[in-house]
Structure 1
Amino acid sequence: MKKNKKLNANDIISTRKRLDSEIATYWSFIKAENTLRNNALKFRTHNLLELYNQITQKIEHRILIKGLLNNLNNDKLSFSSSEFMKTHYYNIFRLQECQEQITKLNEIRKRCLAPQLKAQKGKKALGYNEVFTHEKISSIINKLELMVASCKSAIAKYNDETQIEIIDNSLDAVLAA
């Protein structure tokens, strides 16, 4: 039988900051080392595909950490990742993470060799090596955009269907405006 673990807010915040730092560092490595001249490949010190896989895993962890913090901030003192993944907060945090990934990938894509140039001169003639090509990044972004659309749809559905009952008249003046 697995024993439940207890964390305080500082532990969770520290974990989130560590994940933030690791993810940012990995994106920096990918951005710096993705497109290199063939004679500079010895300076590619990281497996960029593995770093990207690590980023995606850490993003999922960061979503869960944000869920933990959200629970604590709302005085909910227990957390189940499977239950959290059914909430609108999961969709909100996932949307945010997908949009950030798209931004980072677009930054990297700007530094890629133009597909027209590769077609015109030939990839070998250019003398560059890319791990994430313009095309590969576009494909990843397309998948992320589908996730963004799915998250936005789930959030819109939640916003349309969820209501709150106000049990006093403290907001009458605000809501009448």
Structure 2
Amino acid sequence: MQHTLDLGGTFDVYDIRRWDDLSPGALGSYLGTDAVKDALHVPRHVPWEFHDNTGPVAQHLAVDNMQDCSDKYRAIMDRYRALLYTGNFDTACGYRSTEEILDDIMDKRGLRAEWRDAPRLIWTQAQGNPKGFVRSHGQLTQVSVPDSGHEVPAYQPEICREMLYNWLFDRPFHGYDPLKAGKPDS
């Protein structure tokens, strides 16, 4: 991965528009509060530290980081509704990568054709601007959120909140299918 970053000019994999790391300042302030430490059973005297790709957790995860876990996704999707969302400027876990994974999962479930044929809705705001791009089939919903990096809720908090409410409470994503004739249903 580092080689790819070096060749690309050491861009930020979490937001291709940036050339520096995202600031964990607000997250650190929140996680450093006594209330959060108490809820997570972390001693209050232990300082919060940000480690993305270093430290003991990263070292333990490195062994299985690239292992195929699609069977676990299939097991989850057989029992539960699933929502996978990505920011369009995220290269760490981007939309296209997610789409490839979902195509493979749906293929192994014998549902690839239905998944690929599921309409891709342009989810719109009242003035017609896109909030996101949504595809659903059965218990699976995939959303791409424009103008967002890896941490979608940090980049687009209002849209993310609405996306979660729509999905959690089984509400429609208002918009339109661009392949069908007619006007948006906003």
Question: Which structure has greater helix proportion?
Answer: 1
**Structure 2 length as normaliser, TM-score?**
0.27
**Structure 1 length as normaliser, TM-score?**
0.28
Question: Which structure has greater strand proportion?
Answer: 2
Higher RCO (CA-CA < 8 Å; seq separation 6+): 1
